[in-house]
Homo-oligomer: A and B are copies of this chain.
């Protein structure tokens, strides 16, 4: 049941994270958001999105005990009703017992009625679970401007069967144009402790697409102090989910949430704890796994593109350049066409607003150097092309100016992306 993974090297992120052969962290085979102790989940088809084979559109994540919680929400000025509701609950500092998630309707730009519907949904879930509505978070993803069908949700909630392996169902139920569920879990084992972090995420697109919404739910049975949980989530999100780009659009509903049940029985982890680095490393690994799955499964994607920028004057510069390259339509189409058109890579870096000097810059496709100190290198086009014709493509820019480095993840841009997103809303 265990698949041992040796993480050889992870590019340093905001918190200078380098995992070298961290044998304490093991990827769980068949892991899910309910792998950590104390979590159950289930899902049903409530009729919110059109019925297709095995469709699920309403899921519930439940914890046997009240969890510490931290979350990161969309930076979009236009925020969906559930985002506003969840944020308010978080600000009150309440613990969380459950998360109700629907796909098929974003409940965004739905005015007063939309906010009422979000409140009602939380109350319906609370009633079913016999807990307080204050302890229920709600998430939505789907078409903007459509009102949430609360009657359907009311009828469907009692049909949800919660189980310890219900995480897989949840991962399916939150999908929209995702072609596959995204799950990842690791177990961290030390001399006198053992805890699990699990997660489920959905990426970009709707069956009747509206927004490229990113939803991710992380659970852990580790006992984690609230402030540290918040800080760790923010830092890890900046190096993982925030470095994923599919089409540059930011949803009104983006949500990343972590629940800590404390069921593992470890001593409480805080910033000073000797377990702090292990926890952050494991959280990073789970978030990285989910984030890369989102990039690889971007709408119409046929490849995962990893962009590594090194030698920047600052980490902020490196991040800007990496995300601009990964998001460039010209870079994305070139990769799609196996076109080793390195000019587009350096040009994207050049427009990202960072400090750079062409005469110092190196550009690589995989291990192959195409530009060295601003001078074009002779290269075998067929080999460069074949380096792009891979499920995972690595593009690298070394600015040779400083110590800042960062990675970003994206996908190629295919005609299929256009086809998916040019369809009618209904």
* A interface residues with partner B (beta carbon < 8 Å): 75-79, 106, 108-112, 143-147, 209-212, 247-252, 328-330, 333-334, 336-344, 346-351, 354-356, 358-359, 370-371, 374-376, 381, 385, 413-415, 417-419, 421-426
Contacts and interface: CB of A to CB of B under 8 A. Distances in A.
A329 B329 contact: yes
B329 A374 contact: no
Given A144-B347, A418-B336, A356 B248 contact: no
A77 B426 CA distance: 44
B111 A376 contact: yes
B250 A421 contact: no
Contacts of A330: 209, 211-212, 247, 249, 421
B422 A334 contact: yes
Given A415-B418, A424-B337, A344 B144 contact: yes
B424 A418 contact: no
B371 A145 contact: yes
B145 A423 contact: no
Nearest to A348: B249
A58 B344 CA distance: 23
Contact of A333 (B110, B339, B376, B422): B422
20 contacts: A77-B356, A78-B351, A78-B356, A78-B358, A143-B341, A145-B376, A146-B376, A209-B330, A210-B341, A210-B343, A211-B330, A248-B248, A249-B347, A251-B347, A329-B329, A329-B421, A330-B421, A333-B418, A333-B421, A339-B423
6 A-B pairs closest in CB distance: A144-B343, A337-B422, A78-B350, A333-B421, A415-B415, A250-B351
Contacts of A359: 111
Nearest to A112: B375
A251 to B, nearest CB: 7
